[in-house]
Amino acid sequence: MGLDANLLQRLTRGSVEEAWQAIVGSAVDIASKPLAPGNAPSEVIKRDREIGALDHFLSSSGWDLWQAFGDTVERTSDQLVKWWNEPYSAKAVLILDGLSLRELPWLLQGAKERGFALHQVTATASELPGETNEFARALGFGSRSQLQNNGGGLAHKLQPAHTECVDMPWKDCEGLINGTPNWVFWHHWPDSKVHDGSGAGQGLDLLTRDAAGQLSGDDFWSFVERLATGRRLVITSDHGYAATGYFPDAEGEVGQFLKKTFSSGRSAAGTGDTGPFVPPVALQINSPHGAHLLALGRRKWRSQGGYPTLTHGGLSLLEVLSPFVELTK
């Protein structure tokens, strides 16, 4: 599936800012259309491939745009801090670990069906690399686990707040919400499911069915309503994920280089050789988290134990963009 002429013109003739605005806007448009549980697995794969055309542009001729990504697309962490400083009397942030744009329709449909008011729907940028600890540190936490049992402390950037981090059923999560005005609640789902299914051939299919059930269910929305009662609420994530099981195999020297550089992952800390390949298959990215080599675009390669079918940490749109949904009840 190719890019239409108007979009291609915006990507190649406009500024870097205009190009990224067009890319993110197009990805959100593709991903946010309504879904039904019955057709979700096939429709999500179809959309994944459609967004793959943008990834192909970014890895074949527009790879220099990635160097500007961290400074051009608003980072989720920055957006959260900015939003937190707005003069709302009470507020809450729900971080769903690893939530991607694929799951955005369930949030939009569920909010509408249950009488929530949507104030903002957009996509923001993960840290680079798109990993949990980098996001936690960008918000001033030592790690995700620090938030557990109100252990967030007084050094993070979302002050004052009651913090929690769990991997519990939504019903049990609802019971944790007390009358404290400000909340930061980090839930391990769907990232826990991403890694549970990352070795299975049908990882995306299983996760799509699970997301349809979880994000359409009464328990999840009852929890969200509890969190949003009397509070302005943002639902977002630390990073998305790549459906690498559907990526083409990197063969020959490219495959050997990627295996040697990244093993079964998508990033490697420090500076290193990006290889002799044009277009490149890896990029050196210097972010607030230091220098990293990141795998570029949609490729998988043979690795010991098998390459995971769902993972994150590299440079493809669905692993570095997060939904950012603001709502009230």
**pLDDT exceeds 90 at position 312:** yes
Q: Which residue has the higher pLDDT, 305 or 320?
A: 320
Residue 24 binned pLDDT confidence (cut-offs 50, 70, 90): very high
307 token code pair: 């390459």
Flag whether pLDDT at 288 surpasses 80: yes
Dump pLDDT digits (tens) for 109-140. 999 999 999 999 999 999 999 999 999 999 99
pLDDT recorded at residue 200: 58
pLDDT at residue 267 is higher than 70:
yes
Tens-digit pLDDT profile for residues 213-239 = 999 999 999 999 999 999 999 999 999
- What's the pLDDT score for residue 199? 60
Read off φ and ψ for residue 287, nearest 5 degrees: -120, 180
* pLDDT tops 90 at residue 301: yes
pLDDT for 201 equals 61
Q: What is the pLDDT of residue 279?
A: 96
Question: The pTM is what?
Answer: 0.97
Angle at alpha carbon of residue 318, lines to 281 and 257, rounded to 5°: 20
Structural element, H or E, at residue 327: strand 321-328
Note every long-range contact of 191-200, with CB atoms under 8 Å and residues 24 or more positions apart, other chains counting.
191/97, 191/98, 191/132, 191/241, 192/97, 192/167, 194/98, 194/241, 194/310, 194/311, 194/312, 195/308, 195/310, 197/309, 197/310, 198/308, 198/309, 198/310, 198/311, 199/305, 199/306, 199/308, 199/309, 200/309
Please tell me the predicted confidence (pLDDT) of residue 2: 76
| DSSP class of 149 | G
Handedness of CA 28, 129, 238, 102 (dihedral sign): positive
> For 8-12, what is the mean pLDDT?
92
pLDDT digit string, tens, across residues 192-204 = 998 886 665 668 9
Write the pLDDT tens digit of every residue in 54-99: 999 999 999 999 999 999 999 999 999 999 999 999 999 999 999 9
**Which pLDDT score, from 0 to 100, does residue 252 have?**
96
Segment 65-75, tens digit of pLDDT: 999 999 999 99
Say what percent of the chain tops pLDDT 70: 98
Q: Give the list of residues 6+ apart from residue 25 with CB closer than 8 angstroms, or none.
A: none
Residue 266 backbone phi and psi in degrees, to 5 = -130, 0
The 3-state secondary structure of 232-286, one letter per residue:
EEEEECCCCCECHHHCCECCHHHHHHHHHHHCCCCEEECCCCCCCCCCCCEEEEE
The two three-digit tokens of residue 253, written as one number: 């020297």
Split at pLDDT 50, 70, 90, the class of 4 is: confident
Residue type, 163: T
Can you tell me which residue has the tokens 């946010």?
32
Q: What is the pLDDT of residue 195?
A: 84
